[in-house]
Amino acid sequence: MSRWWQGRTLRFRLALWYAAVGTLLLAVFSSTLYFYVQERMALPLDHELRQDLAEVKSRISLRPEQILWDGKILDLQASHKAPDPWFEIWDADGRLVRRFWPLEDNRLELLPAAPASEHETISVFNVAPEITLRALSVPIEGPDGRAGWMLRVMRIHKSADDALGALLIIIVTALPVVIALLVFGGYSVTRRWLLPLDDMVKEANRITAEDFKRRLPVQNPNDELGRLAVVFNVTLDRLEDSFVTLGRFVADASHELRTPLTTLRSVGEVGLKRSRTAEEYRDIIASMLEETQRLQVLVQRLLELARAEGGQERVHHVPVQLHRLVSECVAELAILAEEKRLRIGLETMECTLSTDPVIFRQALKNLIDNAIKYSPAGARIGVSLAVQGGHARVVVTDEGPGIAPEHRAYLTDRFFRTESSRDRSTGGFGLGLALANAYMRVLGGTLEFEPIEPRGSRFSLKLPAA
């Protein structure tokens, strides 16, 4: 059953569910209506029975061996008069004492049975195929104060039965028609409401990796299907950006890898063109090793970037004295700064927070390494640590050429380098800031940039202090 249900379309399931619930509600409503009408129709008749009961009690009196009606003896041959109520009197032994009504007993199929003694009851009797009586029975005091006697007043109940029968016929006849209309209407409404979903499916089938420009139609952005289409289109935008970024990454990586490979091949081919001295071969091998090392570094940085951006970088949060970690990182890179006659100024304050020291060290080393690469000889590099606004901020300031406004949006893109920084002697690949940005995302922090006038840059690593 479950497999059959899952194999049906959504509009079929909605229509069937709508029809089933509607049928149940209609059945409950019809039953409630029938019994309510039945009860309400009986109330006026019961009220009339109580009026008859009051009239009988006021006009009748019981004596030993006699029944007085309006003070006169009511003998067995006394005939019933039209305005008078119908009533019966039963003694304590359940024997009929007197029945006073206009019906002839010999023409009735079934006479009313004795009422239950000492209880007030309302009952219905079918005395003939066309005659139904509604009766009210109450206990009364018999002659000489004897208990256990019963007085029953009666009226014709046929009119109420006819009305209830007609109501029942209407319900039984109308219910299947209403259910059929519910099924048809439910299917039509759900089909109309789900038409945008069919359009979305058709358009989604046309979207391929070669045609990422298509988007799902949004007929009403305020309903659930419209919001779904909007979210799906946003996802497609992100996928398209990812494909574009991936294509650019492949192209840039191919370009960067082609240069050292071409150099290796050219140097090798030149070395094999003629015989050379040992010193010449040594220089050729040294050039090849230099390009090999450059190729190895590039591959290593690409792997690190892929691991960080792919969420494969394992994060081990431990309490870290951030001021000591920053000081150690600066000390490690101080030798490179001395080679270019650069000065590194350090300003820290005590700060302990929970983070991954290895990943944060890599991000900070990338920033300082970039500052060393692009700062002119004799310049000063500033590194500072401060805690403010619930965040720890490590700032690296350089006196390099700075970043032009039109290039600042691409700082964290892979292989991005400004034209002025495309000197291969710096040894850069344009991956340092991309790596630092990926590392900070892994740690739950951010990488921020701020230009310095007239020249220079300020990069910040921002981490939650708590």
CATH of the domain at 435: 3.30.565.10
In a domain, 176, yes or no: no
Rg (CA), the chain: 50
445 and 300 belong to one structural domain: no
109 and 33 belong to one structural domain: yes
436 and 379 belong to one structural domain: yes
Q: What residues contact residue 96 under an 8 Å CB cut-off, 6+ apart?
A: 88, 89, 90, 114
As a whole number of angstroms, the distance between CA 76 and CA 78 comes to 6
381 and 412 belong to one structural domain: yes
Q: What pLDDT, on the 0 to 100 scale, is given for residue 422?
A: 43
Q: What pLDDT, on the 0 to 100 scale, is given for residue 75?
A: 75
Domains in the chain, number: 3
Q: What pLDDT, on the 0 to 100 scale, is given for residue 87?
A: 92
Q: Give the domain extent around 242.
A: 224-307
In a domain, 218, yes or no: no
Q: What pLDDT, on the 0 to 100 scale, is given for residue 382?
A: 92
Q: What are the tens digits of pLDDT across the range 374-401? A: 888 888 999 999 988 888 999 999 888 8
Bond preceding residue 451 cis, omega within 30 of 0? no
Q: What is the reported pTM?
A: 0.45
371 and 232 belong to one structural domain: no
Q: What pLDDT, on the 0 to 100 scale, is given for residue 416?
A: 62
Q: What is the DSSP string of 192-211?
A: HHTHHHHHHHHHHHH-BTTB
295 and 331 belong to one structural domain: no
Q: Are 78 and 67 in contact (CB under 8 A)?
A: no
Q: Residue 392: is it exposed, middle or buried by C-beta count within 10 angstroms (0-12/13-18/19+)?
A: buried
151 and 52 belong to one structural domain: yes
- Supply angle C-alpha 462, 358, 310, rounded to 5: 80
In a domain, 216, yes or no: no
Residue-level pLDDT, tens digit, the chain, 466 residues? 567 766 666 667 777 777 788 788 888 888 887 777 766 665 677 888 889 999 999 988 888 888 888 888 887 677 778 888 999 998 888 888 888 888 888 888 888 888 877 788 888 888 888 888 889 999 998 887 778 889 999 988 755 556 667 777 888 888 888 888 877 877 777 777 777 777 777 877 777 766 667 787 877 777 777 788 888 888 888 777 777 766 666 665 665 566 567 767 777 777 788 888 888 788 888 878 877 876 776 677 666 656 665 555 567 788 989 999 999 888 888 878 888 888 888 998 888 898 888 788 888 888 888 888 888 888 899 999 998 888 899 999 988 887 777 766 667 666 666 655 444 445 555 667 777 887 788 888 888 888 888 888 898 999 887 6
258 and 333 belong to one structural domain: no
342 and 288 belong to one structural domain: no
Q: Could you tell me how many helices (H) and strands (E) the chain has, helices first?
A: 9, 15
Q: Where are the alpha helices (DSSP H) in 85-212?
A: 158-193, 195-206
